[in-house]
Amino acid sequence: MTTALQNIRVLDMSRVLAGPWAGQLLGDYGADVVKIERPGHGDDTRAWGPPWLGNESAYYLSANRNKRSVTVDIATSGGQQLIRELARKADVLLENFRVGTLERFNLDPEALLADNPRLIICSISAFGQQGTRADRPGYDAMIQASGGLMSITGPPDDEAGGPQKVGVAIADIMAGMYATTAVLAALTSRASTGRGQRIDVPLYDSQVAWLANQNMNYLVGGEIPRRMGTAHPNLVPYQAFATSDGNLILAVGTDRQFRTCMDIVGMPELGTDAQYANNAARIQNRTPLIALLQEQLRTNTTAFWLEAFAAGAVPAGPINDIGEVLSNDHARERELVRYMQNAAGDTVPTVSNPVAFDATPVHYERPPPLLGEHTDEVLREWLGYSANRIAALRKDAAI
């Protein structure tokens, strides 16, 4: 099978989520991704359970398919030399150590680039490679908080609950996504220049960047965005509503959709009322409109309203739990969940990459690897090491 990145080698020295997420995406697109892990310990997330599948945590399994695991102790001189040799053969190096760690282990990025000028080194950190915060560590939750996301997530100030973080480590995930696109851009640049480069992807800057319209609401309007629960700052009605037996989300994006929505809920006069006829007016009169709409939606079931809105092409949907999302008919139609067999004999579920190429499809070749599963294999393939040389490295505790 032809894949988009089938001739690209990635040395993935990252751990936890942001870097491994980038590595997994590159592996999905066909790159040969070698995951470097500490002997006897591995990626921190291997221990982040329960739940467990065999000896592996579900957390680890979520971000490490399509990789091969090689154990290297970079605290040893033999391990450092091994990384330098692997970097000479790699196209991309991913790392998310604290700033200065690679230099401390005699793996200075500039030296690696001097040895392999075509190498692309992508460094993911909390606050970037330069600046007064560069040496600070950071995890997703603190980035969500300090980077502004929690200030707009959760119920409004006049309701109980306070600021909330998103239910997945979204700052890590998005930094991994930015890192992936940056690597692909750098590979494209290298195709014409012949040279690699360094890439700096901070979690904090990534978090700030993807606040998107909320950033611009402040920069243009001068008003600090606040928490609004499920409501939208720029569209009305665009939020969750209670029905007689549950909840649904209504996402009205145009004035035409609003008029149709009002017809469906039995309030056609509101569709042309000057207080609500366009979105700017609805923003001004949000509170009374939401109260009227909520009263109507409570008169019937979620299923009834969803069927009615679908018939009228008004965007609306159920508020599904993850069990429903991964097991319903749509999940089966779209193959959202796939199964792979690992070397321990466990059947590993994995959630599909959402991208569909018609010529270079995403592949699901490797389940998340067992710790050190491919050490000998990669050293033979990438570096041509003999069994005796590998045994000597193992004896010296370099691998």
Residue 299 has what pLDDT?
A: 97
Distance between CA atoms of residues 72 and 74, nearest Å: 6
What is the pTM assigned to this prediction? 0.94
Strand partners, 318: 248
Distance between CA atoms of residues 368 and 352, nearest Å: 14
Q: What is 266-328 written as a DSSP string?
A: T-GGGGT-TTTSSHHHHHHTHHHHHHHHHHHHTTS-HHHHHHHHHHTT--EEE---HHHHHHS
Ramachandran area for residue 39 (φ above 0: left; ψ -120 to 50: alpha; else beta): beta
Interhelix angle 375-383/77-89, rounded to 10 degrees, is 50
Residue 137 has what pLDDT?
A: 86
Distance between CA atoms of residues 362 and 356, nearest Å: 7
Instruction: Please report the domains of the chain, with CATH numbers, ordered by start residue.
Output: 9-210+335-395 (3.40.50.10540), 238-319 (3.30.1540.10)
28 is catalytic: no
Q: Catalytic pick from 28, 32, 140, 172?
A: 172
Residue 1 has what pLDDT?
A: 79
End-to-end CA gap in the chain = 32
Among 368, 312, 318, smallest CA distance to 339 is for 368
53 and 346 in contact (C-beta within 8 Å)?
yes
Q: Which phi and psi angles does 217 have, rounded to 5°? A: -60, -40
In what helix (H) or strand (E) does residue 197 lie, and over which residues does it extend? strand 197-202
pLDDT digit string (tens) for the chain, length 399 residues? 799 999 999 999 999 999 999 999 999 999 999 999 999 999 999 999 999 999 999 999 999 999 999 999 999 999 999 999 999 999 999 999 999 999 999 999 999 999 999 999 999 999 999 999 988 888 899 999 999 999 999 999 888 889 999 999 999 999 999 999 999 999 999 999 999 999 999 999 999 999 999 999 999 999 999 999 999 999 999 999 999 999 999 999 999 999 999 999 999 999 999 999 999 999 999 999 999 999 999 999 999 999 999 999 999 999 999 999 999 999 999 999 999 999 999 999 999 999 999 999 999 999 999 999 999 999 999 999 999 999 999 999 999
